[in-house]
Amino acid sequence: MTINRLREEMETSRRQLLAAATARRDPNQSYAGVLQMFKDVSSVDRVGALAVVNEWLASEDEAQQQHAMAIVFHFKLKASIPILKEVSKRLLEQNTGPALAHREDVEKLIDTLGR
């Protein structure tokens, strides 16, 4: 599968899961769904799926970031550490309360992966 096709399918699936979870008022449902989605990616498409997850990490879309962080944490994707460090730096430069709070979560994830 091409990276563009994989990106489109993953994003469509993520949005559908988020919409269903929002309708049921159960945010954990969307997280479980994206974890299953990533798990179900074929070994042939795994590198592309990781690239998409890293794009989500770097996104300004908070829901994309949170889903990506859940995937990175659950599957211990150490390859995402450089992107997480870039995100942490960007959040520090924003210097707002919400950005700094989110930065703490990013830093904790980096520390967890670094172990």
Q: How far is the C-alpha of 108 from the C-alpha of 88, rounded, in Å?
A: 10
pLDDT of residue 17: 93
pLDDT of residue 6: 95
Q: How far is the C-alpha of 19 from the C-alpha of 96, rounded, in Å?
A: 28
The structural domain count of the chain equals 1
Going residue by residue through the chain (115 aa), what tens digit of pLDDT does each one get?
Answer: 899 999 999 999 999 999 999 999 998 889 999 999 999 999 999 999 999 999 999 999 989 999 999 999 999 999 999 999 999 999 999 988 898 899 999 999 999 999 6
pLDDT of residue 1: 87
DSSP 8-state assignment for residue 41: S
Helices (H), 2-96: 3-24, 27-40, 46-58, 62-75, 81-94
> Which of these, 64, 62, 106, 74, lies nearest to 88 by C-alpha position?
106
Contact at 8 Å (CB) between 42 and 62? no
> Which of these, 51, 57, 72, 49, lies nearest to 102 by C-alpha position?
57
pLDDT of residue 36: 96
Q: How far is the C-alpha of 34 from the C-alpha of 86, rounded, in Å?
A: 23
pLDDT of residue 97: 87
Q: Which domain holds residue 41?
A: 3-114
pLDDT of residue 27: 81
Model confidence pTM above 0.95:
no
AA letter at 108: K
- What does the radius of gyration of the chain's CA atoms come to, in whole angstroms? 14
pLDDT of residue 55: 97
